[in-house]
Structure 1
Amino acid sequence: MARELETLSYSCVTDSVHSAITADNYTCDAYTMQSEDDNHSLSRLQRPRGALARQLYDKILADQRLEDFDKNKWYECHLNEMPPHLASRFIQMGVDEGTEAFLEQSKEKSEWIFTQLWYSLARPFFGWFMSQTSVNGLLGRGSMFVFSKTQFLKLLGKDYQDSCQPIEFDKNLHFNGLVGGNAQELSDDSHQGNPCKTVLNIEPGPFFDGSLLDLGAGDGGITEIIAKMFKSGVYVTEISPPMKRTLAKKGFHVLDENSWHKEDIPRLRIAMCLNLLDRCETPLTLLSNLRDTLKKNAKEKPLLIVALVLPYSTYVETGSSSDHKPKEIITIQGSTFEDQVVSVERDLFIPAGFEILQWTRLPYLCEGDLRQAYYWLSDSVFVLTPASDASDGNGDSNAS
């Protein structure tokens, strides 16, 4: 029996993530999960008449179906349908504590009825004169989630983690790169016998002796998860003014979105481009600038983490064109998730001068609303390194 093809759609109206996934007996559209074979007792009750009551009733049903949905499907990949070199580089993930924490937080926030009603009224009003991303930044809603700290480290691999050394922070050193407010100096009594050191309230390592660059960081929710691990600073870009202010308040170095690649980023170890290529006007130029920046700034082997929603669909929210289409076109081929990953390597990364070291499949999660607790899309997440000059533009010999 032919396996059922998962289909997803990318919302071009709001900055929230909306899913359109068909799996088993459940159909999840942009706003609610509707079951074709609903056995829940709630569904047999008479539907309330009031608009708000009906909305809350439908949300209860949708959230119950979210609970019943097999979340292992978020991470499934049919490796037997892929070339051996890509199959061998796949890192299997699953729901972990960090993911569960985000889901629980989303459920809790979606039940703040009056707050959600305020969002519903304010969003269309502010949408008249600012982008939906800026509206979300102004209202403090719509946070995203791609990976947890544990998943991030697993994706990098043990060899790269072994290059991280536990560090001791000197009391007189500039506390650079860790999120402001998370460093707490304790009394001298707490570190007697080592008076030149200060004890910091920081999560256990590892720590990277270098800096992080996150392009299109949004509200910094994803960046925060790993920011504390980078000793030399966290640098971000964002086009939305409200989001920029949020990032600055979190202690990140906010760079200009048009000239970030001209900045001196000290000891750059990792750059991230998470779900940005399908939202910007010039994705090919962006990849070229990233490659040049990594090779110019990185002291050790540089890494780039790219997340890309598949099926690939573009929408430029803020740009020079009124039709919201990019200036540079990326063509991704294939009818399945696996086929499109193969095309991403062949038609995008190899011509751009990158090699895939490892990759995985993760859900791109977004906080929900009065319709359901959270939404998701299917993310392909790649760890890349600049290819050697000898193979630039020629591709990986394994990719044929």
Structure 2
Amino acid sequence: MTGLEKVIKIDVISVPFSGHLLPTLTLVKPLLADPRFQIRVITGCQKKELVEEIGFDCLALFPERPTVMEDIANTPQQSNPLITYQQFRANSRLIPEVIDELNRIWQEGSKPDLVIADFVASPAGMISDRFGIPWITTIPSPVAIECRTTTPTYLGGWKPHQGVLYKFRDALGRQAIRCGKKMAFALVRKSLGDYQDFKLYREDGTEAIYSPYSILALGMKELEFRDDFPKHLRWVGYKCLSFDRLPADHESYFETDKKRVLVTCGTHLKWEKERMVERAKKLSQLYPDYLFYVTLGEASGLGNVPKRLAENLLLFDYLPYTDILDKIDFAIHHAGTGIMMACIEHEIPSLILPQDYDQFDNAVRAELAQVGLVARRKTDAEVLRIFKELTNRTDWSQLKILAQKSKEYQPTEILYQELGRLLKLDL
């Protein structure tokens, strides 16, 4: 017995990228044990097997084009305005297809009572509004939400400052971001088909791609210096299970008396991985008492035997963070939300080399919070100098404080509160 007249149907909609899908699945996973809920995940084909192994029902989009979303996201070089526009245009062509598919599924009788959508899954909110379905936005990158009165993001990692000149700078930056979005949207509007009347901003000025009902920020408020987020945003902390498990025969690679250093740049930054490996080679030569573990972020290679590039340098196709971070002493990473937050949780001091997307803004927050050291020029000389500073530093008291605070969040409790509020139920 559920205590309700019917089971509550929830569709979880996300792009099939680990940094988006996995934190949302981690948040929602406790609902699998609650008989009052029926959870279905809608995502790309590449993650269908993993989603079903976790225990969710899964509906895979574009089975005839299984890598269509990955092909858009994984660019061969660092982002620039042209690449960003090309990605935006390619995504805009997919949006009507996703909407049509969701419309077909829901029209055939599988309409959910509520939708939980990753923040870049814009079709989910658009069609939910048309069906009158309440929806929740999950966002592991809260800096993506447009600033309204504070220092803007996505401009290379601006720091907040006091003074009239900086207020003027921030105002110009905010205006530039908004104008850029409007121009890009105008160029792709015709691709949206029946949704050409979609507006980027609501009458109250909030962005229409995020839920007007509930936004769950998968992050820590303590890292944020902004105070202009939507009123219905709630901070739930960051927790992301890898779900993949480290193969048993890989565990012996972490049995060592040396200091252990994880080197990663996530899954998307294919153009950075060769340079990452070369830097690790140089560091391994200079630090023979440290063991360096480089991961290329290729989940399909989880079971592959690592390559030993040097006595103290191992190259893995993929390492699941959940299973290894408790064995790591230092990390070198790109300020992706997942690895940055996981390093905070595990009290791992980090050398941070932001590369793209929201990473520059994440790096600023990490630096101000004193949880890592940032290399901005990213030259070999700078990386070597800062790594020496990282390993010599003994006072990481702020990192320890934030690690403790990260464990105080109650994401499941907040999720139930929001579900009850939106569904008007006592859960």
Do these two structures clear the TM 0.5 threshold for a shared fold by scoring above it? no
Relative contact order: is structure 1 or structure 2 higher (C-alpha 8 Å, sep ≥ 6)?
Answer: 1
Task: Tell me the TM-score normalised to structure 1 length.
Answer: 0.28
TM-score with structure 2 setting the length: 0.27
